[in-house]
Structure 1
């Protein structure tokens, strides 16, 4: 599958953001299927042919994204789709079309096998055959990156570089932060897998947020006044929060490592809004254990695009252009 390379809004911004969407939105590949096409005698034959074929050869559901007629500018002819090549033979078509439509010849052409989900696919599919395209503006803005402003990109870059610095200062431990919609950093935390194998960075972050809201399992509420909990690895940056908030609803999480399946599901259940993770993971030559395993839960498995989950969130891969 050919992948899409996304261009930054401004080449001067020291960060690249690549959205991770479901495969049908990211691919530029166009799958084809062969169909029988009749070359109509003239333009006057189009309307009667459409009416006749609606009864004789109804368009199947998997081809409703195609327009039935096209004007072939190369041959200056009008062509109309009859049916898939695999469904019948030329002899059967000719018998059915006898005295039904006015055409000069039959031929086989390749057409797009599925509907286009983005503009790139639409432009490529249209070269094969005219297609119906209903553009999803939100998807388009994610693909071209315009949903994140220039100022927001600078802020994202600043937050991510701070996490990289903290990771390097703590033996390359995985680090992360949870940020509200105004880019206020609420909590910062590293992983604690040396204390418990399930205490990955994202799980610690969720627990810290929970402690802000009166819950939490690992961090005691009465320690919030100290701001720094459990040493330099865990920081509650503010005690101001929405008392009616549910965990991470409406918040973003920034991570120096792609979250594993367990952490991704934890973030999903906490109702996270967006996940930003560093594309090039920081590798340690001295640390014996890493945090989240590299199971590619979001970048390859694309857990967040699974139609059976009950919450949707955006996932962005972050690449810092300059070495930290």
Structure 2
């Protein structure tokens, strides 16, 4: 892998009830629960990570489940408004039946850029899509007793950003991140990187009069782009500074190292490293089974555990 942005690393969203969020993504969608930890800035709130078996970059959807006190968000301009997962050809009948059995709100399948997609909402109103890619996705899916490989998600396909004007955001994607405009349908512009074959698509939807979104329950908090290591990350940090944008210092998130900046269209972007990975504090077979705390909160484990909702 070269010193490039390697598509999407993870996507982080906001949820309400923790147990409802956990049940939907592990039981209904069949994702693996790969890390049970807390918000590093608010240790009385969970931070959940869902992904494939190993928690590979490009498969990781994370949540801050802030409970009943969090207000309902609203999709709009200046935010990521859709999260797309790659699923196998012929899987839509399975998913539609499963959605109906679990009272999931969904739309009839449609087609975009020559690819079939199925839109649905999670229990908090987060908008998701299952997409059957034109190019075969050879990533190994995570299977459960109810969701087998012939239907299971492979990881992310894309995410969609809604903007009043796409120009400045597109400049970040193309001039810093190495993406290229590969297709357009109406006001939807598709950008992709050839640095990797999967989780490598960003769609920009331009809506000049769209009201700005409200970041809260049921909305995406940020999009994290992937780099292989710290040296590559810091090289990209300099490029962002050179473009005149404000960006944080490197922050240690235990499982990856992060930089954050808000791109000109208003969406919060992160650049996250592959290292050190999710097995840094527990073995692969134990992922997600135990509450893992950053070192600064370990002395307060008992009171933190007492505050957090039970998931079983």
Shorter-normalised TM range: under 0.3
- Structure showing the higher helix proportion among its residues: 1
* TM-score, normalization by structure 2: 0.26
- Structure showing the higher strand proportion among its residues: 2
Structure with higher Rg: it is 1
